[in-house]
Amino acid sequence: MNEMTKTNTAEIFKDGDMVEMSYAEAIRDALDIALTNDERVILMGEDIGVYGGAFQVTGDLVHKHGEDRVIDTPISELGGAGVAVGAAATGLRPIFEFQFSDFAMLAMEQICNQAAKMRYMLGGNVSVPVVMRFPAGSGTGAAAQHSQSLEAWLAHVPGLKVIQPATPYDAKGMLLAALEDPDPVMIFEHKILYKSKGMVPKGHYTVPIGKAEIRREGTDVTIVATSIMVHKSLDAAKQLEEVGISAEVIDLKTIRPIDRETVLASVRKTSRLVCVYEAVKTLGIGAEISAMVAESDAFDYLDAPILRLGGADTPIPYNPDLEKAAVPQIDDIVVGVTQLVKGER
């Protein structure tokens, strides 16, 4: 994944200003910077203090910034999220970590009814600048209740912003951007990505929310991917190149609001669209992207049916082979794209 650090935004940094770190370390770095620079910032979540977080993202931040600012919450997602939303509404900049994104369902009232609607219902007099982090996705053998990708649930709610950084660079930059956003920002972090490495700028920088990035340019097909599927799509694109298929890979980064123009411009260029996402295919982000293209002028540029590659309509299985089979893999992308480009679909 190192090659991906040379992104459009990364080019403004000189090599000496960059350092290699993992996705989890990049988030910790962002949290550290935020805690250091802004006294309104607090971290909240289950076991994020001395234990360092279920995925060791917060690490030793509690020792550096103290228990007043890195706060272990009781095992009540609704309660913890409620406190975070209230704190945000009254002037703090809380960053709330869910142990697993699956537990977001316990806090839906606070996220969807309170955080998302408060600005609207109070005539703009109050904003809720809360940031929530959701370790998400399958691949860890954690079975059906700890492996879901629920980002589309939250992306359905006006008032929320929902992002899925795919690289350490974006994980840090988008978290810092989320803190500057006056409204609630939901960050879905794929658990498998936590250990992936990449070059990350030292110090403070932001990566804009709502802006997708073309990770690889191509001419035959546009692959719109999110989170870990960006990496799988890039690997697939390499294989596709060997058989003469030039795939453009878009890292969507933000699923609400969607960067319409980047996607549409790419589809107008390549005339083919494949959406790759780990969440259940039905009613997922791929459906939204597909419909968006079909409703736009880019429709007239489609030279093949749209293809969605998403998770199977099943809970994530515990069996490791079935777990893999339930979400798109590199081979699925290679086969799907090949069929599409060769006119077999």
Partner 1 sequence: MPTEVIMPKVDMDMETGTVAVWHLEEGANVEKGDALFDIETDKATMEVEAPASGSLHFIVAQKDDVIPIGGNVAWIFSKDEKVVAPAGAKSAPKSENADSAVAESNTNSVAPSEQSASAPTSAPQNNSRIRATPLAKRIARLKGIDLGLVNGSGPRGRIVKADVNIYLSSVPVISEVSKPVQSSSTVNAKSTADKLGISYSEIPVDRMRATIASRLTESKSTVPHFYLDIDCNIDALLKFRTQINVALEAAGSKKLSINDMLIRASALSLAAVPQANASWAGDRILQYDDANISVAVAIEGGLITPVVKQAQLKNMQAISAEVFDLAGRARSGKLSQSEYQGGSFSISNLGMFGVKSFNAIINPPESMILAVGKATRQFVPDENGAPIVATILSVTLSCDHRVVDGALGAKWLQHFQNLLENPILLTLDPA
Which residues of this chain interact with partner 1, rule CB under 8 A?
271, 299-304, 343-345
Tokens found for residue 155 = 């992306």
CB of 345 vs partner 1, minimal distance in Å: 7
Kindly write down the DSSP assignment for every residue of 208-270, as one continuous string. -TT--EEEE--SSEEEEE-THHHHHHHHHHHHHHHTT--EEEEE--EEES--HHHHHHHHHHH
CB of 48 vs partner 1, minimal distance in Å: 50
User: Closer CB to partner 1, residue 129 or residue 336?
Assistant: 336
User: Closer CB to partner 1, residue 123 or residue 343?
Assistant: 343
- Active-site residue flag, 77: yes
Check residue 315 and report its DSSP letter. Answer: P
The C-alpha atoms of residue 334 and residue 68 are separated, in whole angstroms, by: 50
Bridge partner list, 71: 44
The C-alpha atoms of residue 141 and residue 218 are separated, in whole angstroms, by: 35
Whether the Cβ atoms of residue 191 and residue 55 lie closer than 8 Å to each other: yes
User: Closer CB to partner 1, residue 208 or residue 305?
Assistant: 305
Tokens found for residue 282 = 């039905």
Q: Which of 146, 189, 213, 248 is catalytic?
A: 146
The C-alpha atoms of residue 110 and residue 79 are separated, in whole angstroms, by: 9
The C-alpha atoms of residue 188 and residue 190 are separated, in whole angstroms, by: 7
Bridge partner list, 274: 223, 307
CB of 341 vs partner 1, minimal distance in Å: 10
CB of 23 vs partner 1, minimal distance in Å: 38
**Who's near 168: CB < 8 A, 6+ residues apart?**
5, 21, 22, 23, 25, 26, 196, 197, 198, 199, 200
User: Closer CB to partner 1, residue 115 or residue 340?
Assistant: 340
Query: Does 257 sit behind a cis peptide bond, omega within 30 degrees of 0 on the bond before it?
Result: yes
The C-alpha atoms of residue 59 and residue 43 are separated, in whole angstroms, by: 12
CB of 247 vs partner 1, minimal distance in Å: 17
Phi and psi, residue 256, nearest 5°: -150, 115
User: Closer CB to partner 1, residue 44 or residue 304?
Assistant: 304
**Who's near 14: CB < 8 A, 6+ residues apart?**
none
Tokens found for residue 84 = 């975070």
- Pairing between strand 221-225 and 273-280? parallel
Whether the Cβ atoms of residue 225 and residue 30 lie closer than 8 Å to each other: no
User: Closer CB to partner 1, residue 130 or residue 267?
Assistant: 267
CB of 267 vs partner 1, minimal distance in Å: 10
User: Closer CB to partner 1, residue 185 or residue 221?
Assistant: 221
CB of 344 vs partner 1, minimal distance in Å: 7
Q: Which of 25, 46, 77, 189 is catalytic?
A: 77
Q: Which amino acids are annotated catalytic?
A: 77, 146
